[in-house]
Structure 1
Amino acid sequence: MSEIVTAGILVIGDEILSGRTKDKNIGYIAEYLTNIGIDLKEVRVVSDDEDAIIEALNALRSRYTYLFTTGGIGPTHDDITADSVAKAFGVGIDHHPEVVARFRTRFSEAELNEARLRMARIPDGAELIQSATILAPGFKIDNVIVMAGVPSIMQAMMDIISPKLKSGVRMLSDSVRANAREGDIGSPLRAIAAEHPDTSIGSYPFLDENSKPNTNIVVRSRDPDKLKAAMAAVQVMLAGLNVAR
């Protein structure tokens, strides 16, 4: 079987932790990675604090195949992601000549102030993530992909970088509505999971259209035959379930 490729996400920003800005990137990245065969394993959110960013970045980049970061690469004083990444890797950081040249075609000399030039500072050895429609680039250094926090820009960066990423066997999934409460199916589901170790079986409670407790069962596997076998076992279990609702 192909190598399992894993990823973590590091969300950076006081505005996320304060609740002022609602994160819209985690779910998008998670779905994007699933669709290209990369397993998202962990998400962390940290403040605009250099030590916190470096600690989390070093922990996650050593644990997973890839680490995706969002936020903190803008023009303001608290946009310190690029500097923190450079320190985490022990490399220098400076204005990237290619980015500065792009900025000079967009801004006048008066407009190209210190704040805007902050967005041109890239760690030494990093690969730019940019296109004609992205003014300030993200970058990739080793297995760390640094992206903007603005969702539309982040999404464009994902499209640019994804063809360069290695991917594994895509995780397949199937689901069924149980028409039973989660507590009624917990024990038989545990038994089915034990009998099908190469699958992941999850139960997700919700209130149905009659405001009654119900459950969706989701089975996941990289092997279509094993997925089918586990789902068949779930279907047999549900058919034999006698639960008063």
Structure 2
Amino acid sequence: MNPTACILVIGNEILSGRTQDANVQFLARRLGQLGISLREVRVIPDVSETIVGTIVELRARYDHLLTTGGIGPTHDDITSACVAEAFGVPWEIHPDSFAKLEAYMAPGSFNAARQRMAMLPRGATPIDNPVSVAPGYSIGNVHVMAGVPRIMRAMFENLAPSLAGGRPVVSLAWHADGMLEGAIAEGLEAIQRRMPAVEIGSYPYERPDRRGVSLVSKGIDADAVAEAGVAVRALIAELGYTPVQGEPPSAQPGAAAGTAGS
């Protein structure tokens, strides 16, 4: 079995709808490439008791817990203090991070609020941030990163080589225009029963000029995924549709994706 992971998104702005999360899709794909199975995504508010309790719970359940959000300089950036509490260690200035931030900031601008970004739980290992210097960090199996997508992605790429992974997840997609989920449901279920080690998903799509269904086989056994792909292609053809390998073309700019019906 591959190592497991959970993504913990921290921030009132996500729960209120003010900000749309842009990190989960990126992390899910990269974790799969590293052979780490993403099992859960949880979104929680900037509430100390909730953050501490959730970290304690999830780090015991999964091999890797990745958090995003709440490590900036403002009063509501409380993730780091909560991680320290969850591990029962002090939250304190990390000298090397402090020095890097001080050198990066304009003279006279490294105020008390910005100095908070140099505070880490004792024993944490910084994750380099080539975008804005303020570090993320790892402590135990918890990896704490920024919520700003370009900073989070840069942090993750520096973190990735240190993550214990397994066999990369591979996938194979077939789609057919005009096909509806109701037509393929019975045959698809039969394929899934024959191949329980492969995850087979059905994803309707709708474009201004086309609609149909994409069928994706996914797993860590490349041969099994390929076998499932052959069965899926045969099913599409048997039902009188034209199977096309890969995902359907993306929606045109400004066009909203919808559901293709059943």
The question of a shared fold, defined as TM-score above 0.5 by the shorter chain, is answered with yes
The SS at the match of 1:236 is helix
Partner of 2:64: 66
User: Could you tell me how far 1:207 is from its partner in structure 2?
Assistant: 2.2
Partner of 2:151: 153
TM-superposition CA deviations, 1:153-182 (whole Å, max 9, x none): 111101111011111101111111144210
User: Could you tell me how far 1:131 is from its partner in structure 2?
Assistant: 4.8
Partner of 2:194: 195
Name segments (4+ residues, structure 1) moved above 3 Å: 106-110, 131-134, 208-212
After TM superposition, the score normalised by the length of structure 2 is 0.86
User: Could you tell me how far 1:236 is from its partner in structure 2?
Assistant: 2.0
What's the % identity of the aligned pairs? 44
8 Å CA contact retained: 2:131, 2:151 = no
Correspondence 1:7-18 to 2 at 5 A:
7-18=5-16
User: Could you tell me how far 1:135 is from its partner in structure 2?
Assistant: 1.8
Distance in 1 (CA, whole Å) between partners of 2:210 and 2:106 is 60
Partner of 1:163: 161
TM-superposition CA deviations, 1:124-167 (whole Å, max 9, x none): 11001125554211110001100011111111101111011111
Cα 1:117–1:188, aligned 2, differ >3 Å: closer, same or farther? same
Partner of 2:205: 206
1:111 maps onto 2:109 in alignment = yes
8 Å CA contact retained: 2:118, 2:134 = yes
One-letter code aligned to 2:102:
R
Deviates more, 1:143-152 or 1:132-141: 132-141
One-letter code aligned to 2:59:
R
Partner of 2:119: 121
1:26 maps onto 2:24 in alignment = yes
Cα 1:102–1:210, aligned 2, differ >3 Å: closer, same or farther? closer
One-letter code aligned to 1:5:
P
Distance in 2 (CA, whole Å) between partners of 1:186 and 1:53 is 41
Cα 1:236–1:129, aligned 2, differ >3 Å: closer, same or farther? same
The SS at the match of 2:72 is coil
- Gaps of at least 5 residues in structure 1 are none
Number of positions where the alignment pairs a residue of Structure 1 with one of Structure 2: 241
8 Å CA contact retained: 2:129, 2:151 = no
Distance in 1 (CA, whole Å) between partners of 2:240 and 2:105 is 70
One-letter code aligned to 1:192:
I
Distance in 1 (CA, whole Å) between partners of 2:32 and 2:122 is 31
Supply the RMSD in Å over aligned alpha carbons.
Answer: 1.9
User: Could you tell me how far 1:191 is from its partner in structure 2?
Assistant: 0.7
Say which of 84, 92, 98 aligns to 1:100: 98
Deviates more, 1:89-98 or 1:55-64: 55-64
- Gaps of at least 5 residues in structure 2 are 242-261
Distance in 2 (CA, whole Å) between partners of 1:216 and 1:142 is 39
Say which of 66, 75, 87 aligns to 1:89: 87
Partner of 2:48: 50
8 Å CA contact retained: 2:6, 2:65 = yes
